């Protein structure tokens, strides 16, 4: 079975802190994704990556950056956390682009105070 793990289930950070969310997949998937999920808004794509060291902006990239130095690891970085970044963050991976399902991690619930 594909396993996608995220570094933390719950995280509390202060405004202005730099925050790292880590995601690791163990199935040699090419594609990895970061979403945030908010009530009433569904899932929104922040960034995605189709290859090592490659990244593409999603629908809401402002205030975030990503890093993919190894195929199995995709990190989301909040350079200076703000309260409006309080959310559930979901990482996902898929084998290839197009016609493939995504496998999700358990999520990180981030609270910025």
Partner 1 sequence: SQQGEEDPQALSIQEGENATMNCSYKTSINNLQWYRQNSGRGLVHLILIRSNEREKHSGRLRVTLDTSKKSSSLLITASRAADTASYFCATDGGRLAFGKGNQVVVIP
Chain positions contacting partner 1, by CB under 8 A: 4, 35, 40-43, 45, 48, 59, 90, 92, 97-99, 101-107, 109
DSSP 96: S
CB of 53 to partner 1, least distance (A): 19
Structure tokens at 91: 């990482």
Spatial neighbors of 76 by CB under 8 A, at least 6 apart, are 20, 21, 23, 34, 46, 47, 64, 65, 66, 89, 91
Q: How far is the CB of 1 from partner 1 (least distance, A)?
A: 11
Q: What's the closest the beta carbon of residue 39 comes to partner 1, in angstroms?
A: 9
Q: Of the two residues 36 and 78, which places its CB atom closer to partner 1 in the complex? A: 36
């Amino acid at each position: 079975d594909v396993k996608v793990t995220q570094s933390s289930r719950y995280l509390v950070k202060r405004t202005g802190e730099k925050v790292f969310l880590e995601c690791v997949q163990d199935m040699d998937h090419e594609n990895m994704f970061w979403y945030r999920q908010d009530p009433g808004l569904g899932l929104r794509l922040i960034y995605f990556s189709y290859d090592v060291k490659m990244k593409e902006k999603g629908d809401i990239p402002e205030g975030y950056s990503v890093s993919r130095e190894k195929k199995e690891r995709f990190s989301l970085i909040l350079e200076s956390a703000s309260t409006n970044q309080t959310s559930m963050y979901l990482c996902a991976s898929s084998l290839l682009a197009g016609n493939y399902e995504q496998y999700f991690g358990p999520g990180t619930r981030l609270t910025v105070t």
